[in-house]
């Protein structure tokens, strides 16, 4: 394969990786937990796998890259591995935690030991006359 074709081949792979990551990021940002995070982990796992393949058996038509500890390559591996761990954390979490303040401005479920409920009950009781 000529040098021009090699650059084009690698360029297309990098472009597809970046485009997929942007689509996944948009999905995650918009709250699409299932498809956004799943696409993101597929992109990360794919890039991680292709990095390892390119350094072991080589990609079709390309030479084996023997520089395992190139700084950008190591940073890429760390970020991709971290994104897989974050995906696992997000997907195994049962439900997202509710904010301390709901839409009405009331504090919900954040007081230790039900102190909020006790204060609310005390405020609802009529005061006894001395």
Predicted local distance difference test score (pLDDT) of residue 125: 55
Q: How many CB atoms lie within 10 A of CB 45?
A: 15
Q: How many CB atoms lie within 10 A of CB 54?
A: 17
pLDDT in tens, 53-90: 988 998 888 888 888 889 998 999 999 999 999 999 98
Higher-pLDDT residue of 11 and 118 is: 11
In this prediction, residues 102-107 reach a mean pLDDT of 54
In this prediction, residues 100-120 reach a mean pLDDT of 52
In this prediction, residues 83-106 reach a mean pLDDT of 73
Computed on alpha carbons and rounded to an integer, the radius of gyration of the chain in Å comes to: 25
For the residues of 3-65, what is the DSSP string, one character each?
A: HHHHHHHHHHHHHHHHHHHHHHHHHHHTT-HHHHHHHHHHHHHHHHHHHHHHHHT--TTSPPP
Give me the chain's average pLDDT, please: 79
The model carries a pTM of 0.64
Percent of the residues in the chain that have a pLDDT greater than 90, as a whole number = 39
Would you list the domain boundaries of the chain?
A: 3-92, 99-130
φ, ψ for residue 117, nearest 5 deg: -65, -40
Higher-pLDDT residue of 13 and 23 is: 23
The C-alpha atoms of residue 32 and residue 46 are separated, in whole angstroms, by: 21
The C-alpha atoms of residue 10 and residue 108 are separated, in whole angstroms, by: 52
């Amino acid at each position: 394969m000529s040098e021009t074709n090699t650059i084009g081949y690698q360029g297309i792979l990098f472009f597809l990786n970046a485009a997929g990551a942007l689509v996944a990021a948009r999905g995650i940002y918009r709250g699409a937990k299932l498809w956004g995070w799943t696409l993101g982990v597929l992109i990360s796992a794919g890039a991680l796998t292709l990095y390892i393949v390119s350094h072991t058996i080589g990609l079709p038509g390309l030479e084996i890259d023997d520089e395992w500890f190139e700084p950008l390559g190591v940073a890429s591996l760390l970020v991709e591995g971290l994104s897989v761990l974050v995906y696992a954390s997000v997907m195994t979490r049962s439900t997202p935690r509710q904010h301390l303040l709901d839409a009405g401005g009331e504090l919900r479920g954040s007081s230790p030991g039900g102190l909020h409920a006790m204060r609310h009950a005390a405020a609802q009781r009529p005061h006894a006359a001395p």
